[in-house]
Structure 1
Amino acid sequence: MINIQHIDRNQFLKLIKTPLQLKPGQILQGKITKIFPNNKAEIQLGNQTMIAQLEAPLQTGKAYHFQVQGKEDIVHLKVLSEMKQGKDIGQQAEHLLKQLGMKGNKLQSEFVQFLLNEKIPFQRSQLQQSFQLLTGTTDKSTTFSLLKTMTSKQIPISEEFFQALYTRGNHNLSELINELKSYLEQQNLPVTIQKKALAQLTQFLSQPNTPNPLLALFMQGSEEERLKLFQMLKSLGIIGQKLDFSAWKSRMQNSQMGEISNDMASSVRSLHEGIIKQELLANEEQIRNQSQLILQKWHHIIQTNRPMEALNFQLLSHDIANRIVAHASSGLGQALQTLLQNNPASLQELMQALQVLQAPTSIDTKVTELPGAIRNFIIQQDAQILSGNGRQISSNIQSFLDQWLHLMKNTIELQQPMENRVFQAFQRDLAENIIPSIPRNTAQWILSTLQNSPTSIQQIAQYLQALQLPNAMEASTPLWSTASQTLMEQELQSLLRNETALRNGIQTVMQQWPVSPDSSSFSLFARDVMEHVLPNVSRNFAQGLDSMLQNNPKSIQQLMQTMQLFAGEDVYQQANHLLTMREPMQFHFTKEQFMTQLKQYLQLMGFSEGNAQTEVQETSIKHMLTQLLQQGEQGVNQRATQLMHMVNGLQLTALNESNNLIHASLQLPGKMFGLPEDFQLEFEGQKAVDGKLNSDYCRIVFFLHLGNLQDTTIDMHVQKRVVSITIFNDNTQLQKLGSRFQKLLEEGLEEIGYVLSNVTYKPYSQQNTVKHVTTHQNQSVTVEGVDFRI
């Protein structure tokens, strides 16, 4: 087995960051472009032009093979042979091999020809090492290409590094992580290291906590935009008619304040799920049977697009109360009763809840599939108790953590249980000082997870820290239940689908009625509204408009204002934005969220800020893979070795620096950033005086595969802080869709000191202009100095 775990990360960094320079023994091609007095000449070596002192007769316009020789303080180039025009490149390669004292077979000779054609400098030792790797190759093209990369970038030519680059070019990171994760999940996992590995791999494949679309739009909007958003949602029947703007805004702002970190949100979600489990466990089998009977009786009567007849609804309510609520836990029973309302959205959600309860699935599955309204109601019961006693609970938890947190951390870090007597004291303190002060479901769940194991102790620590957060219990609950989200989506789609007809109809009415009608002409006004406006809106929207169609000044004024709102384009832009952000796996992070995810990825991969670090970070995936490989299990080793190759390849290609340019290339796991597939990020730019990237002059390219837009490349150029963007995609509607967000992009760039020059859209067939982001060095030359001697 290849001992890849001993490839040190710092060796990577040292190799990657070494600027291209002439090295003793290196063989390269050069062309004499000018002869100057005093035996000086201008010579072109690759993309660099230098001045040489001639100590051998050479002619202008001719090309030669040189070998670098170190002597004193100046580099010497030894002429090996002239590259004669018309001479077959194969003959040149054979001649060069003879001069180096090497015998090459046909394949090896072809490889030398390949390097000469590509004008890649090489050393004799590099050829020897390459020839060893060429032995037995079945893919000449790929092998040549990888060896060329290793030769040009001065990467040691060995089997370990070759496999790293090969895996990097032929696999994606998520694919290999998922293979190892799936294999570990199928094992019994008796080894603690494998459990830790599984938890770490899951981080790469977990979707981020993206903001609620409505909350995100609310947070971004001005006061005027928030008011229009509120009026649109209220007109469409998505939020209650009795809710005023001030109360709605307060609710949204409270939700915004409840936003918490990804790690803590995960702990809160886990706690929520535990609380719901406690509710579902009570009389589970009886509730499953009764839910099944109710569905069989009522599913064909309940329609999702209109209320039930009053008598049927009364009978349904009676069945729910006697068959389910009477046997369910108080939280679940009350949640079902709250949901029992005679409107399409509530009835649809009630049917979904009954389908979940009657299914022969596990409790864990039911927790995730239960409608949001039920989940939220159960959680809010505990949340209200926590809110009322929050200060005392937080004080109790803090006192407990002050005493026990150090021991808990030791247990987690050492992956060893506490001593029995210590655990008994820990358990007693928890039971006496924490459990009595927290809500029943929360307490039951915490006690059910309490074991003398590192995993359990870590869960308890996270739960207690989560319970100290203000609004923690509300922080990760959705603002909209499943049914409400479905209703919102349907209403917004209907609005956008009928936008042209609706705006034309409103315009017709407002042209005929530029001022509000009086009592005597109201019937004519109402007829025009019913003829030109109501046919172009959804049933919910029509009901709302119809309720305003009353012959009194207040109702007429409200109707006129609503029509004016939907005559403009702002509400349609907001509707489109909400729908876009609701699409699964959409990339709508804020800058801060993206940078947080990127930093987490770099830490997990072992790319720390301290390049002088001499040990692999213990939190990195490489450290974890090293431990797995030491276990010696064949199936694990096979998959861990492949993933280790991938990590090595990513580290090898991550960064390339020259004297004045930086070029970085990152492959990022898609799910970690809210995308369906892995994506590539490349950037290059000038170095600032301090050696860091000069953000005034750079280029960034994203190679993406998006859920709806498919293959997409975004190429961004920055010159003197002026930004130009080219988007490559074959969707012909993209420019129209994108133009709606251009103003937002301009404002965002302006806030951080940049100016948007233009956004250009091109078909993907023209994307080859950015397939390779490369750095080029051009050195100005003078005749006064001498760079080397020939």
Structure 2
Amino acid sequence: MSIHRLLGDKAVQQVHLPSHQQLKSGDVVQGKVIKLFPDHKAKINLAGKQMIAQLETPLIIGERYHFQVKHTQDQILHLQVLANNFKNNTEQSAIQLIQQLGLKPTKISVAFMQSLIKQQMPFNQNSFIQSVHLLQSREAKEIPIKQQFGVLHNLMEKKLPISHAIFQSTMKLSTGGISNSIEALLKESRNQNIRFNPLLYQLEQVNSGFKTENMSIIKYMASDLNNTQTNGNLYHIFKNLGMISPSITKNQWNQAWMSMVENTPKSLVEGRALPFSMDHSALMKGIDQLTANQSKIIELTRSMLQVNDGSVRHSKNLINFQKIADLLPESISLRFSEALMKGQPRSFLETLNNPNTYHELYNMLKTLQNPVLNHSPQLGKIQQLFLQQVQWMNQRAGLNYEHQLAHQQIDINNVKAQLIQLVQSSSGSLAEKAQQLLNHIQGIQINSITESNGFLQAFLQIPAQKLGLAKDIDLQFESKKTKDGKIDPEYCRVLFYLSLNNLKDTVIDMHVQKRNVTVTIYNDFTDLENFVGAMKENLNQGLKQNDYRLSSVHIKAMDSLNEGDKEHREKRYHPSSYQGVDFRV
């Protein structure tokens, strides 16, 4: 799961200006009058922070205003009222504000200004003009406008330059994981028959992996072979339904699955395919459809087997055959039609008529849908692979390329350096895919570190295809800055944004205070507490080994993700109070 895809504009709402010291001359910020005091003073909510203001212009309680910073004198901000009455965020309000900035309203500029008003986002005239220019570019027309607004909000919030390069890089980060960009380049290189390239070889190693969903199939098949009650019945079911080749013998079937079990650690690293071609998702959908239509299929097949021994000669049977085919998954329906054409549907009909077929398949479906099963027994190997991916991102992907360049210490394996060379030396679709991956790496760089008033926020995206996940892992760290400028391991927050095979979208929010760890899991999977409860002790022991203590584990719905995070970072770590005059209006 991507933090950018998951939170969208909500991510922007949660990070406001920590202090008026960040406001510069020319900045425009929205504020609301909260309370009036004697001596021409008032409490105003300015960019998410309540401050006391000296009034030099009459203001009305409850009204929203847009202020522009004119200058700073004696650490007091002098603000000019630009516009007010933003209660309904109307188009006219946006037009009024654009005109007061001396600009001509257009359809795209008005829409963008409305988004800034809605998000209460501080901005300046130059950043607004640059943003509108980017929104009108040719590349922008291919991306949803709401997504573009979110990226520009993010750049403004972080005080980053609003340039074409930075916009494209951040946009690439928000549209997908780095694994997708890597795979797109690898696919294009294969199309052009490019081989023995060190860059492509390294990228292959980053993306190649063994899917945990396939591991769950291997474990289930192995257990079926060793089950004295079923005695490997799935082989006969799969073969009779045409799900595997008729030439595969029972002995070959058994040997192949047992070989995969014995070599799972090696297979995990080498990315070996299953011994028989089976798509996990298609298999699950197929079994689900079969079991859902069990009663209808059994009724039709029983009638045909009793009356005409499964013959295709009678027109009534042809109608029933078609009814059965319509109830079957597409791949099985195709094999069923082939059996009819050959005049050999009996084994198909008998298998479909047998209640045990559905019992076996239903058990398989429920077991493979169990998230605990997909927790690989090779946990150490998964941890090792995860750390390898983190290390690759930090040391080889090119996040430190500019630092290496400045110190003349370029690593020949630095992916960003090699991508720059590839873009310069190639053309066409290959150069385009290389540039897209380069943009993605630069997008991660741009968002990697944000520093504000003694606080650090770090972001890292981990390619997760090798770990068996459909989407990459996003990590976000928040912390007070230590004296040497690093994240404080005793007072910090770590968020994991995941897309798991069975649990789907999941966010793990880990708070650390004095080495006490509170974990909150956001997920919509039913009965998740039963699964998490069984794993608490393992988590507690793992934390103890690193001198941390598990305080508590909470499970909440995804909808409540932002409810507990509306306070500013400063308020979470130390209470603030405001006295005296902070700025003058």
Aligned ranges 1:769-788 → 2 under 5 Å: 769=562, 776-778=569-571, 780-784=576-580, 786-788=581-583
Q: Which amino acid aligns with 2:583?
A: F
Q: Residue 508 of structure 2 corresponds to which residue in structure 1?
A: 714
Q: Look up the SS of the partner of 2:476 in the other structure.
A: strand
Q: Hey, what's the Cα distance between the residues in 2 that align with 1:86 and 1:371?
A: 64
Aligned ranges 1:750-765 → 2 under 5 Å: 750-762=544-556
1:607 equivalent in alignment to 2:402: no
Q: Look up the SS of the partner of 1:741 in the other structure.
A: helix
Contact preservation (8 Å) 2:210, 2:267: no
Structure 2: tracts of 5 or more residues without a match: 1-16, 216-225, 228-245, 273-369
1:170 equivalent in alignment to 2:172: no
Aligned ranges 1:85-484 → 2 under 5 Å: 89-135=90-136, 138=141, 139-189=144-194, 195-207=197-209, 349=255
When residues 186 and 782 of structure 1 are mapped into structure 2, their CA distance, relative to the original with a 3 A threshold, is closer
Q: Residue 789 of structure 1 corresponds to which residue in structure 2?
A: 584
When residues 24 and 73 of structure 1 are mapped into structure 2, their CA distance, relative to the original with a 3 A threshold, is same
Deviations 1:499-530 (A, max 9, x none): xxxxxxxxxxxxxxxxxxxxxxxxxxxxxxxx
Q: Hey, what's the Cα distance between the residues in 2 that align with 1:85 and 1:100?
A: 16
Q: Residue 342 of structure 2 corresponds to which residue in structure 1?
A: none
Structure 1: tracts of 5 or more residues without a match: 1-16, 214-235, 238-298, 305-344, 354-368, 376-474, 483-575
Contact preservation (8 Å) 1:47, 1:776: no
Q: Residue 641 of structure 1 corresponds to which residue in structure 2?
A: 435
Contact preservation (8 Å) 1:709, 1:729: yes
Q: Which amino acid aligns with 1:91?
A: Q
When residues 692 and 749 of structure 1 are mapped into structure 2, their CA distance, relative to the original with a 3 A threshold, is same
| Of 150-159 and 619-628, the range deviating more from structure 2 | 150-159
Q: Hey, what's the Cα distance between the residues in 2 that align with 1:175 and 1:694?
A: 33
Deviations 1:370-416 (A, max 9, x none): 9899x9xxxxxxxxxxxxxxxxxxxxxxxxxxxxxxxxxxxxxxxxx
Aligned ranges 1:576-725 → 2 under 5 Å: 582=376, 594-608=386-400, 614=406, 617-618=410-411, 619-673=413-467, 675-725=469-519
Q: Which amino acid aligns with 1:200?
A: Q
| Shift in Å, 1:162 | 2.0
| Shift in Å, 1:766 | 4.4
When residues 783 and 680 of structure 1 are mapped into structure 2, their CA distance, relative to the original with a 3 A threshold, is closer
Q: Look up the SS of the partner of 2:156 in the other structure.
A: helix
Q: Look up the SS of the partner of 1:657 in the other structure.
A: strand
Aligned ranges 1:70-85 → 2 under 5 Å: 70-71=71-72, 74-84=75-85
| Shift in Å, 1:146 | 2.5
Contact preservation (8 Å) 2:29, 2:46: yes
More strand by share: 2
Contact preservation (8 Å) 2:83, 2:97: no
| Shift in Å, 1:115 | 1.2
Q: Hey, what's the Cα distance between the residues in 2 that align with 1:715 and 1:32?
A: 34
Q: Residue 349 of structure 2 corresponds to which residue in structure 1?
A: none
Give the structure-1-normalised TM-score: 0.47
| Of 712-721 and 122-131, the range deviating more from structure 2 | 712-721
Q: Which amino acid aligns with 1:130?
A: S
| Shift in Å, 1:699 | 2.8
Q: Residue 43 of structure 1 corresponds to which residue in structure 2?
A: 44
Contact preservation (8 Å) 2:33, 2:44: yes
Contact preservation (8 Å) 1:35, 1:60: yes
Q: Hey, what's the Cα distance between the residues in 1 that align with 2:45 and 2:372?
A: 57
Q: Hey, what's the Cα distance between the residues in 1 that align with 2:24 and 2:429?
A: 43
When residues 617 and 52 of structure 1 are mapped into structure 2, their CA distance, relative to the original with a 3 A threshold, is farther
Deviations 1:727-751 (A, max 9, x none): 3445546443443332222222223
Contact preservation (8 Å) 1:47, 1:777: no
Q: Look up the SS of the partner of 1:630 in the other structure.
A: helix
| Shift in Å, 1:54 | 4.3
Aligned residue pair count: 430
| Shift in Å, 1:150 | 2.3
When residues 730 and 61 of structure 1 are mapped into structure 2, their CA distance, relative to the original with a 3 A threshold, is closer
Q: Hey, what's the Cα distance between the residues in 2 that align with 1:170 and 1:70?
A: 39
Q: Hey, what's the Cα distance between the residues in 2 that align with 1:744 and 1:593?
A: 19
Q: Which amino acid aligns with 1:143?
A: Q
Deviations 1:747-779 (A, max 9, x none): 2222323222333445x5546448989954457
Q: Residue 242 of structure 2 corresponds to which residue in structure 1?
A: none
Deviations 1:162-184 (A, max 9, x none): 22222211122111101111222
Q: Hey, what's the Cα distance between the residues in 2 that align with 1:578 and 1:55?
A: 64
When residues 700 and 598 of structure 1 are mapped into structure 2, their CA distance, relative to the original with a 3 A threshold, is same
Contact preservation (8 Å) 2:122, 2:157: yes
When residues 117 and 703 of structure 1 are mapped into structure 2, their CA distance, relative to the original with a 3 A threshold, is closer
Q: Look up the SS of the partner of 1:680 in the other structure.
A: strand
Based on CA coordinates, which of the two structures has the bigger radius of gyration?
A: 1
Q: Look up the SS of the partner of 2:105 in the other structure.
A: coil
Contact preservation (8 Å) 2:475, 2:496: yes
Deviations 1:280-299 (A, max 9, x none): xxxxxxxxxxxxxxxxxxx9
Contact preservation (8 Å) 2:86, 2:93: no
Q: Hey, what's the Cα distance between the residues in 2 that align with 1:672 and 1:774?
A: 36
Q: Look up the SS of the partner of 1:607 in the other structure.
A: coil
| Shift in Å, 1:669 | 0.8
Give the structure-2-normalised TM-score: 0.61
When residues 781 and 59 of structure 1 are mapped into structure 2, their CA distance, relative to the original with a 3 A threshold, is farther
Deviations 1:140-167 (A, max 9, x none): 3233332222222222222222222222
Deviations 1:332-365 (A, max 9, x none): xxxxxxxxxxxxx9x965xx69xxxxxxxxxxxx
| Shift in Å, 1:591 | 6.2
When residues 42 and 649 of structure 1 are mapped into structure 2, their CA distance, relative to the original with a 3 A threshold, is same
When residues 593 and 645 of structure 1 are mapped into structure 2, their CA distance, relative to the original with a 3 A threshold, is closer
| Shift in Å, 1:199 | 1.8
Q: Hey, what's the Cα distance between the residues in 1 that align with 2:91 and 2:211?
A: 58
Q: Hey, what's the Cα distance between the residues in 2 that align with 1:773 and 1:44?
A: 15
Q: Look up the SS of the partner of 2:425 in the other structure.
A: coil
When residues 672 and 104 of structure 1 are mapped into structure 2, their CA distance, relative to the original with a 3 A threshold, is same
Q: Look up the SS of the partner of 2:120 in the other structure.
A: coil
When residues 169 and 744 of structure 1 are mapped into structure 2, their CA distance, relative to the original with a 3 A threshold, is same
Q: Hey, what's the Cα distance between the residues in 1 that align with 2:267 and 2:77?
A: 71
Q: Which amino acid aligns with 1:110?
A: A
Contact preservation (8 Å) 2:170, 2:440: yes
Q: Look up the SS of the partner of 1:627 in the other structure.
A: helix
Q: Residue 25 of structure 2 corresponds to which residue in structure 1?
A: 24
When residues 693 and 765 of structure 1 are mapped into structure 2, their CA distance, relative to the original with a 3 A threshold, is closer
Q: Hey, what's the Cα distance between the residues in 1 that align with 2:76 and 2:403?
A: 30
Contact preservation (8 Å) 2:177, 2:471: no
More helix by share: 1
When residues 65 and 629 of structure 1 are mapped into structure 2, their CA distance, relative to the original with a 3 A threshold, is same
Q: Residue 749 of structure 1 corresponds to which residue in structure 2?
A: 543
| Shift in Å, 1:119 | 1.0
When residues 582 and 789 of structure 1 are mapped into structure 2, their CA distance, relative to the original with a 3 A threshold, is closer
